[in-house]
Amino acid sequence: MSAATKLLENRWDDARAAAMSEPERLLYRSNLLGSDKRITNYGGGNTSAKVQQKDPLTGEDVTVLWVKGSGGDVGTMKLDGFATLYMDKLEQLRSIYRGVEQEDAMVGLLNHCTFDLNPRAASIDTSLHAYLPYRHVDHMHPDAVIAIAATKRSRELTREIYGDEIGWLGWRRPGFELGLELSRFAAEHPSAKGVVLESHGLFTWGDTAKDCYETTLRIINRAIEWFDGQLAGKAAFGGEARAPLAPDERRRIAARLMPEIRARIGQDERKIGHFDDSDAVLQFVGSKDLDALAALGTSCPDHFLRTKIRPLVLTFDGDVGAVVSGLDASIEAYREGYRAYYARCRHDNSPAIRDPNAVIYLVPGVGMMSFAKDKATARIAAEFYVNAINVMRGASGVDVYQGLDEQEAFDIEYWLLEEAKLQRMPKPKSLAGRVAFVTGGAGGIGRATAERLLREGACVVLADIDAGALDGAKAELSKSFGADQVRGVLVNVTDEAAVAKGFVDAVAEFGGLDILVSNAGIASASPIEDTTLEVWNRNIDILATGYFLVSREAFRLFRRQKLGGAVVFIASKNGLAASAGASAYCTAKAAEIHLARCLALEGADAGIRVNTVNPDAVLRGSKIWNGEWREQRAASSKIGEDQLEEHYRARSLLKRSVFPEDIAEAVYFLASDLSAKSTGNIVNVDAGNQISFTR
């Protein structure tokens, strides 16, 4: 639909498909379709096949409907993502059905049709597939077809583009009734290959998996080509009103605005942000029609369930300060509007009003910011709004774009079945919605800390000076916890400008900050007479000045964000206990500990807590313990390097070794609300050592 659009490519591989069972071919087709967001949006649409199988009870051949189950995504699903249901039982449901008032109750009856004890819940869309008299059915949400479905003249345009091959059905919420309508349509139009559903999407079908796949692609490609012809030479969205700023400037402004927005919408439930300044977004937010189109709301139900019916457009004429000063009013006006929408549309049995804040924030010249309870949800909401932009570009370019009727939108948003899904969601983890910045995140203790915080649902930015180790740690943690939640920034904590930039990058990625773990470090040992000024300065620079620089940046951010904050310093036993032959290190660590105490005083009025963890002798995983420090410590204790671990264990009061995970556990405690009433404290994690007892 945009200039020079590439058509969808047929990626069906006959040789691969031939070796597959029918359910495997369905999965293959689903994954192929879902891998291109132009075919369907994340989690949107579903696919099905009617397969002959042996009934496990009778041994007889039965027809089983394999259809994407509740919740999954066709692009990434596996075979266990399909619900399986007896077709003959599904047919019986037709005789039980009494009319549209009863259609929600039919969803419960789907469980009675389950084949082979499959635990995957059947989705509301099951009947849309079951009653079409075709073996293979695709239901997709392609931007190009929704763009037709979201025009005022969608019926006429569908006819103009597809003739008799594709039919058209007026808007109806998915459910049993729509299933019957589709079935009637197919019976009355035996040569049709599919249907456009108004304000919703596309149904296509075929006798084989390949046939169905190819029809789906062909029908979508025809829409893409048609739009290309219609839109050629036309300025999108009424033309440009504001040119995009330079990329760095956009990112800087996003990092300035996102914590301000987060401050205002995250008081009850912390939110994670996502920033998108792709070309499609910049064209829309900088256009003359921005306000008018954004106000119409999104069309496809999938879109607004993720994005709310409307975005919040922030007026921006180059003065970021003015946007910030106006935020209270614009955010409150949005909430008022949402409350009024709820009040206008609610039914007696509607669920209680949900969070009235906007999900999508649009800033001309800058881009789009989205906020949600976690990073994946914020990112996906942004992707959905890009789908909505594509739809609006197409629809408004050829006709009048129309959003979904307000009451219909409300009935979907506050659908009791949708509410039941929300109620079934697992309780959020203890650090869900929190963002942590971990310096030295590529090292032993830093990585273990990042892992602990990620496990509790936090988003983590690893900041380190070692590029190779940083890439490795990021890749490993992304593999375990998903790429959404992990970022890496290359930062030297002694470099003022680099620290400031690291925080801008972190905030542009996640929208704010809640936790700083200042942990980057080195160790050195030498008698005072042999300690060079360079060694002395290096210790002070990294361990004292570095901790000052990252804390100052975090404090500035925390104060603007007004959500409090938790700072944890990783100091050392050596910061409390004097140790001969390591004066530079010990002095710098003592400075850290005292800095933490000063900051605890300064931050308390803003809810910023500052605490210290003192590790001792954490050999496993530590790079510090790989180098000279190891040799020197072994020499000073007059033992071999391989005896160090045992030496420290035996020296401790509890006779136990200390591992990076043990330090991470203390950091988690001090970073989380578990320690909401503690600040200015020191926790020693050293298996007990009298010389570091605090007093």
Positions in the binding site for ligand NAD (CB under 6 A): 439-440, 442-446, 464-466, 469, 491-494, 519-523, 542, 546, 570, 572, 615-618, 622-625
Alpha helices in 232-307, H assignment, sequence order = 247-265, 279-285, 290-296, 301-307
CB of residue 477 to ligand NAD, shortest distance in Å: 14
Q: For the chain, how big is the Rg over CA atoms in Å?
A: 30
Question: Cβ-count burial of 317 within 10 angstroms (0-12 exposed, 13-18 middle, 19+ buried)?
Answer: exposed
Closer residue to ligand NAD, CB minimum distance, 46 or 492: 492
Helix residue ranges, H only, 562-582: 573-576
Q: What is the spatial distance between Cα 135 and Cα 353, in angstroms, rounded to a whole number?
A: 42
List, in order, residues 6 or more apart from 78 with CB less than 8 Å away. Answer: 27
Which residues make Cβ contacts (< 8 Å) with residue 673, sequence separation at least 6? 430
Length of the chain: 695
Min. distance of Cβ 599 from ligand NAD in angstroms? 17
Q: How far apart are the first and last CA of the chain?
A: 70
Q: Which is nearer to ligand NAD, 363 or 442 (CB)?
A: 442
d(C-alpha 84, C-alpha 73), whole Å: 16
Q: How far is the CB of 673 from ligand NAD (least distance, A)?
A: 24
Closest approach of ligand NAD to the CB of residue 558, in Å: 21
Which pairing describes strands 682-685 and 608-615: parallel, antiparallel, or unpaired?
parallel
Distance of CA 544 to the CA centre of its chain: 35
Least distance (Å) from ligand NAD to the CB of residue 369? 28
Contacts for 483 with CB less than 8 Å, ≥ 6 apart: none
- Residue nearer to ligand NAD on the CB measure, 147 or 619: 619
CB of 485 to ligand NAD, least distance (A): 20
> Closest CB to ligand NAD belongs to which residue?
443
From 42, 341, 414, 585, active-site residue: 585
At closest approach, how far in Å is the CB of 273 from ligand NAD? 25
CA distances from 680 to 485, 556, 594 (A): 29, 19, 9
Q: Are 86 and 165 in contact (CB under 8 A)?
A: no
Choice between 215 and 551, CB closer to ligand NAD: 551
Cα separation, 554 vs 596, whole angstroms = 13
Nearer to ligand NAD, 87 or 667 (CB): 667
Q: In degrees rounded to 5, what are phi and psi of residue 611?
A: -135, 165
Closer residue to ligand NAD, CB minimum distance, 135 or 589: 589
Confirm whether 585 is a catalytic residue.
yes
Quick one: which H or E segment has residue 566?
strand 565-570
Give the residue with the Cβ less far from ligand NAD, 388 or 577: 577
Active site residues: 585
